[in-house]
Amino acid sequence: MSLLDKLQTNVLTADGAMGTILYSYGIDYCYEELNVEKPEIIEQIHQDYIAAGADIIQTNTYSANANKLARYGLESHVTEFNKAAIQIAKRAAAPGGQFVLGTIGGLRGIRKSDATLDEIEKVVLEQANALLAGDPDGLLLETYYDFEELSSVVTTLKKITDVPLIAQVSMHDPGVLQNGLSLNDALHQLESLGADIVGVNCRLGPYHTIQAFDNVTLPEKAFLSAYPNASLLDVEDGRIVYESEAEYFGRAAVLLRDQGVRLIGGCCGTTPKHIKAAKTQLARLAPITEKVVHPEKPIVIHEAVPTKHQPLHEKAKTERTVIVELDTPRHLETEDYIKGANVLYDAGVDAITMADNSLASPRISNMAMGSIVKMKHNIRPLVHLTCRDHNLIGLQSHLMGLDALGIHDILAVTGDPTKVGDFPGATSVYDVSSMELLQLIKKLNEGISFSGKPLRKKANFSISAAFNPNVRVIDRAVQRLEKKIEAGADYFITQPVYTKEKIIDVYEATKHLDTPIFIGIMPLTNIRNAEFLHHEVPGIKLSEDVLERMRECGDDREKSTETGLEIAKELIDTAAQYFNGLYIITPFLRYDMTLELYEYIKEIDQKKKERELTHAETSY
């Protein structure tokens, strides 16, 4: 009898976690390599699950694909590891006739850039062909957070095999996928693509897994499956543990059956004890054939509160817009900083931008300082947000906090690595890149969490991205810029530019785009400052002419300042001709220099208006 025939009239019990048990043995290297190096360990775990009552076991091949094996330098062993795994499982199952599923794990997490669909198809086909050569009773696709990936894999496998496909999604929150799709819709879509069994596994414990099925209707042809974790995980003495009694898991299996699930196994933290408890509780229970699902009360996502100011990217499309960077202090004295911010904003700049620990050196939180200058001084802050310092939890929490504070102007950046800063031993997080961060912020603007669940209100962020034009081949930089526009960038802020020719190059390379660009101008303070920027700061290059002009100033502070401003004004003359957006970066809290440059910009614009008025009067 086939697996699908058996499910017509039975609720079946699958096995539990493989990795949890291997982890408990102290094994800390590639688990899939054990299929060849220590097959007896894997076979014994299969036998333990069979002894516990499992009707179905799965191969030890969750990460046995070229992409994941490459972490260990074992990418050439895909076929070997998969064929060995299915032989081990078949050998263990033979006496009792248990069904054997070949397991294929997902590649993507929250980042689509982890693997393209073409890459996924290639590695999946290689692994699937090796598993299919061993004649499994089905293929289990498990732990897929990215629905696009799972849909693609199901479609790919349906073209090469008729064996049953079990397609299981993973959720961050009960009942909703990270793309915002409801679990019910996702499972029915997988059924329509040809999956024979559809369900969930991993991330959630029994309670939330049961809750996730509350609004899932029974499929027309496919069967439902569930492989919950033993519980939510905990960490004790640096080791991951799952606190869950086996009997509790067994009772949960009955509740999953009541939701219409016919294939019930376990994921992280589950052991043969959990599976034995589930098997005992499910004994003699027939599957349900009808289920009443009450319509879920829709969650209303309210529109964003209108912003007080016109979005910077909208203003920059039609008129001069000037933003000024004034980085928060690296010490706890804030009087000069707040004084400088007030001077510049009172002069008329459109926003004060604040880096997020630039060059990986700690400064007063730009979120805190942005809130202070906004609430107490009515100054418009534009805060930078790096992927370096915040994991996904921190990024979303930070953004939700900014929305609550009414701070809507954001620069999303990857961030300099910690090795360049004050604490080179600190950890760089980089859960996502700036590209993915742009996409996630756009989700918040739709009222959707990073995890996919509704947030009840839309955020209203105007999102800028970084653009470094100081490269040899600017066309490649523009290609990346175009990808950031696709990801959600509303406008761009460049690194400081130090030649007129580069400004013109940027214009020529980007004039086909409607997305505003703010050209970065940072006045030099002395030759040491100039050489540091040129030789040590990534993404900044000075011309030899600029370096020579600063060298001629020697140690004369006044002359150095004068020359630095002179160079900056020359650059502004060019930039103002081609771009509405100008980005003045304040060096070392020298807001007096920035103020002089801003006043110079106003003079340029005033003279331009006078010329236009004179021309109009003459024409009239």
Binding-site positions read 202, 267-268
How far is residue 302's CA from residue 447's CA, in Å, rounded to a whole number? 8
Short-list 78, 98, 79, CA closest to 90: 98
Determine how β-strand 261-264 pairs with β-strand 223-227.
parallel
- Helices marked H in 461-526: 474-487, 500-510
Helices vs strands, H then E, count in the chain: 23, 18
Q: Residue written as tokens 């800028």?
A: 464
Determine how β-strand 233-236 pairs with β-strand 12-13.
unpaired
445 and 302 Cβ atoms separated by less than 8 Å? no
For residue 268, the SS3 value is coil
How far is residue 597's CA from residue 349's CA, in Å, rounded to a whole number? 11
Q: How far is CA 232 from the centre of its chain?
A: 22
For residue 375, give the H/E element and its range.
helix 366-377
10 Å Cβ neighbour count for 406? 14
For residue 367, give the H/E element and its range.
helix 366-377
How far is residue 531's CA from residue 551's CA, in Å, rounded to a whole number? 9
For residue 207, give the H/E element and its range.
helix 206-212
- 609, exposed or middle or buried, with CB in 10 Å at 0-12, 13-18, 19+? exposed
How far is residue 60's CA from residue 41's CA, in Å, rounded to a whole number? 11
279 and 13 Cβ atoms separated by less than 8 Å? yes
How far is residue 37's CA from residue 27's CA, in Å, rounded to a whole number? 13
Question: What single DSSP character describes residue 109?
Answer: S
- 522-551 exposure pattern, b = at least 16 Cβ within 10 A, e = fewer: bbbbbbebbeebbeeeebbbbeeebbebbe
How far is residue 227's CA from residue 207's CA, in Å, rounded to a whole number? 12
Contacts of 137 (CB under 8 A, 6+ apart): 2, 3, 56, 99, 100, 101, 163, 164
Annotated binding-site ranges for Zn(2+): 202, 267-268
Q: Residue written as tokens 């039975």?
A: 10
Contacts of 75 (CB under 8 A, 6+ apart): 66, 67, 69
Read off φ and ψ for residue 262, nearest 5 degrees: -115, -15
Contacts of 108 (CB under 8 A, 6+ apart): 114, 115, 120, 144, 145, 146, 149
58 and 201 Cβ atoms separated by less than 8 Å? no
Q: 103 forms bridges with which residues in the sheet?
A: 140
For residue 570, give the H/E element and its range.
helix 557-578
Read off φ and ψ for residue 321, nearest 5 degrees: -135, 125
How far is residue 553's CA from residue 143's CA, in Å, rounded to a whole number? 63
- 208, exposed or middle or buried, with CB in 10 Å at 0-12, 13-18, 19+? middle
